[in-house]
Chain A
Amino acid sequence: MIAVEDKTKATDELIAGLKEFREEVIRKYPGKVGKKRAKGIMVNDPESPPVIQANVRTIPGIITQRGCTYAGCKGVVLGPTRDIVNITHGPIGCGFYSWLTRRNQTKPPTEDDANFIPYCFSTDMQDSNIVFGGEEKLKQAIREAYELFHPKAIAVFSTCPVGLIGDDVHRVARQMTEEIGGGINIFGFSCEGYRGVSQSAGHHIANNGLFKNLIGRDDEVRGSLKYRVNLLGEYNIGGDAFELERVFEKCGIHLISTFSGNSTIQGFENAHTADLNMVMCHRSINYVAEMMETAFGIPWIKVQPLGANSTAKMLRKIAQYFDEKELTDRVEAVIAEELVAVKTACEKARQKTVEKLAMLFVGGSRAHHYQDLFEELGMTTIAAGYEFGHRDDYEGRRVIPTIQIDADSRNIEEITVSKDETRYRPRKTDEELKLLEAGGMEFNGYEGLMRQMRQGTLVIDDLSHYEMEKLIERYHPDVFCAGIKEKFCVQKMGIPLKQLHNYDAGGPYAGFKGAINFYRDIEMMVGCSIWKEVKAPWESEDYIEAQFVY
């Protein structure tokens, strides 16, 4: 295993200064705004995580990293599936901006398999549609999409004006399913941008739609009856899913479906035939895991296959769950084999990365997961936070009952799921589950980010541009992790930024080979020589102007 050592004294001092930073920043805001922001900027205590304000509205005017509900639904969760025709119902922009911008890779097995990912479909609403309604145009668009492509499924995504003018995408979907016939599956999402406070609302809406319209429609058990798992909350950015698929296959673990990296309709429809759900991005997909457990009796565990140690840990958890020597032995053999190259790469990178500082402000899971990779590199995360996380992603799922449901969360449809009469099948007896828990396995649990971060570090929810600028000015981290909107501001300050949404065209970063890629990329970033050349020679203080004397 790769050693994860203790941090140095220098970082302790840095961490002590963070509290001061918090107060300084809050003072800058107008009164009410400052008070509100104060609740989202916490000094961490891993033993007893402080209550952090999360998943609440961003104050208008604050430059936020956040996007909208549509982005979470169409862009994140449904976007990576290759054989659904995803039609954006709205003016052209929303469809355009979510067209190929998330690097969801996909690999259809043959040239004849459907792949709509390189396409953008939109009803391109015009002012007449806003005035007289857009349902007829949507119907016609669905007809035309069917005529041109004959897909198995068509999904319709609502943008802001759709909800306001009262177009009913669900009714249109039902009518068109009937009109086209032949078993086509057409369904709509009420994912108008304004519905929630961030992308997170869109994830929830997408989860509900997946459960209502896709999961459980195909009972055929295909392939091996053993070690059947689903991977939830993995979106195949930069090929992460490909690497995890490789690792599972090598271990003999049968991956039924991924939600939704490199996914297909059949994977979703068949997912309920698996025996274990693994949740990777807790924020975006935990609802599906919960619903599948209630309906079909599939237990779920949290996994975090970013970092070689963490990937090994995930594989061991799977082996522990299925509890068969054949699998345990194979998993151990794979881990041992994979770690050889990992160790070499890690050691090489660590010559440049040890004791360096990182900050991570991204997503609803990534700001947590990637800390494992930084730990393996001997780097300390001194500040982190999510763009659209909830309190449970920070403080752990145990706080869920205490989270106040506000008006914005109430807007999102909660679907009631009950035990499936015929297909509910507990995968383990209560006794077996207890035994597994006694052996250290945690079901339906997530510890959250705060438990892992050091005492005194900063945890900031929905980081604003102003806070980011101040953090960097004050602490000069060696690597700052965020997204495209932040990338070039941070780099103008002379600090390399690693994009953890799209990996700067790199990746995969998941699994073992992914860890190697990440080590190499971070080594490159902290070792990249151009940052030392930012000042021209004549701008340095010891530059002496001189002239020849004749």
Chain B
Amino acid sequence: MLLRHTTAKETARQALTINPAKTCQPVGAMYAALGIHGCLPHSHGSQGCCSYHRSALTRHFKEPVMASTSSFSEGSSVFGGSSNLVTAIDTIFTVYEPDVIAVHTTCLSETIGDDLTQIVSKAREDGKIPEGKTVIYCNTPSYVGTHITGYANQLSSFIKFFSTATLKKKNVVNLVAGWMEPSDMREIKRIASVMEARTILFPDMSGVLDAPLTGKYKMYPDGGTTIQEMIATGDSRFTIGLGAYTTEDACVKLENKCKIKFEVVEIPIGLKATDRFVTSLSRHANVPVPDELTEERGRLIDLIADNAKYLYGKRVALFGDPDTLIPLTEFLLTLDMKPVYIVTGTPGKHFDESMKEMLGKAVPEAKFHSGERADMFQLHQWIKQEPVDLLIGNSYGKYIARDEQIPFVRMGFPIVDRPGHNFFPSVGYTGATNIVIKILDAFLDHYDRNCPEEKMEFQM
């Protein structure tokens, strides 16, 4: 057994996290910053943070992830990181020539209390920020919240530094992307385009973290929300946030700054969440839903109906991020499956309330946990107490899946041992189709491998 020390017996833990279902703020800020065209994320802390975050993102996306660091030494930790950041800004604009530097903090620079506003103005006074270039920044202390919080904080900094209201409102809807794959962002844009809705999607990692191999390396790939678009978000008619944990704060900030009304819906994972997103976009962009989308929806329903017998009543354990888990849980219920165990390391009432509401009657035996020590160790202990038929989560899940012989579907971050997440979206009706097919493949492959010989079926 790989996780041989995990037993079914739960003990109350007050301090020790084992096999976390979360990571720290700055990696989220770094990921979000890559969704702005021509932007170089900068990690204000010791080198290891930047190195770890770049590695984590690179392993997941199998793409270049560029970011720089303030390279703190013991001296900067004692005397403050001001001179490190000013030097960094100078070096970056001279050598790497981005349009924007997006600075985020780390637990180190937060603990010593570096004031980014002051440091960046000093860099400006010293003439280290060339004409037409921008330095934006946000606070992402690793000891508050999780990578999801860091992503949300970065989005809010985009609003703070870019979104500008002029007198001329445009018939455009802002779409604020929660933490999702570049393939998902492509799909969101496709849906908007099929609906002929005028939208600005931000951040947009498609074309950045799924760039083609052309023989030419572009440090700032063609994709990403442009600065012009980002500024123009202040003139849009409405904002739709996709995922409360990652986008609500940005939506509120944009409303406060530019008087734009907003609605936060789930990341459109699954049938009903997609229905709500499409309805919202149709209403606020004032466009009808085209037949093409209704047909896509119908094909999804067809797939589910055809395969209902494989899905009905199956017990599922899942872990990951709340903005993904909430609609995914809802979708599993749509499939008549039973999401019985759900954990996320990201704290927040919204997750607990949504789960209670969805599962209270439908799956009364369900257990869910969020925040500190809501970890994969606990999830595994629950599975050992009463097994499940399917596990859904990031690549770390495969250790549980192997030990417990459970079919496993990879969703979330990081996925470092299979390709696919970069190519096949999970959002929209198409994404829901992909999810159902992944679940069915996992079930049926498992059956074909493990069933008695006499029960082997040619057709299923």
Residues of A within 8 A of B (CB): 28-30, 33, 57-71, 87, 90-101, 111, 114-116, 118-127, 129-130, 137-141, 143-145, 147-149, 159-161, 163-165, 193-195, 197-198, 407-408, 411, 464-466, 469, 483-485, 487-494, 534-535
Contacts and interface: CB of A to CB of B under 8 A. Distances in A.
Contact of B112 (A138, A164, A484): A164
B218 to A, nearest CB: 8
A534 B16 CA distance: 49
Nearest to A69: B48
**Interface core residue of A138, A147, A159 (most chain B CB under 10 Å):** A159
Given A485-B54, A485-B58, A489-B64, A465 B96 contact: yes
A140 B372 CA distance: 15
A413 to B, nearest CB: 13
Given A63-B68, A484-B55, A161 B19 contact: no
Interface string B354-386: 000000000000000000110001000000000
Contact of A140 (B16, B23, B142): B16
Contacts of A87: 16
A485 B51 contact: yes
B15 interface: yes
A318 B3 CA distance: 38
A139 to B, nearest CB: 8
Contact of A91 (B47, B143, B218, B399): B143
Nearest to A65: B51
Interface string B71-87: 11111110000001101
B23 A97 contact: yes
A161 B107 contact: yes
B63 interface: yes
**Interface core residue of A57, A87, A488 (most chain B CB under 10 Å):** A488
B47 A61 contact: no
A140 B14 contact: yes
B75 A407 contact: yes
Contacts of B406: none
B214 interface: yes
B74 A68 contact: no
A137 B106 CA distance: 21
Given A92-B345, A96-B24, 20 more contacts: A60-B68, A60-B88, A64-B51, A92-B22, A92-B23, A93-B49, A96-B22, A99-B396, A114-B5, A115-B4, A127-B141, A130-B111, A159-B107, A161-B111, A164-B111, A193-B46, A465-B66, A485-B65, A489-B66, A493-B216
Interface of B: 1-5, 11, 13-20, 22-27, 42, 45-49, 51-56, 58-59, 62-77, 84-85, 87-92, 94-96, 106-108, 111-112, 141-144, 146, 211, 213-219, 345, 372-373, 377, 396, 399
Contacts of A100: 396
Given A59-B91, A116-B5, A144 B141 contact: no
A493 B5 CA distance: 45
Contact of B48 (A94, A96, A147, A407): A94
A493 B214 CA distance: 7
A71 B48 contact: yes
B20 A92 contact: yes
Contacts of A195: 74
B20 A97 contact: no
Given A33-B91, A61-B68, A67 B74 contact: no
Nearest to A159: B107
29 contacts: A59-B91, A60-B70, A60-B71, A61-B69, A63-B66, A67-B52, A69-B48, A91-B107, A92-B24, A93-B49, A93-B142, A97-B23, A111-B4, A115-B5, A120-B20, A121-B17, A140-B14, A160-B72, A160-B77, A160-B108, A407-B75, A408-B73, A483-B55, A485-B58, A490-B217, A492-B213, A492-B215, A492-B216, A534-B214
Contact of A137 (B15, B53, B76): B15
Contacts of A59: 71, 87, 91
**Interface core residue of B3, B27, B215, B373 (most chain A CB under 10 Å):** B215
Contacts of B55: 97, 101, 483-485
A38 B42 CA distance: 24
Nearest to B72: A194
Contacts of B144: 126-127
A484 B59 contact: yes
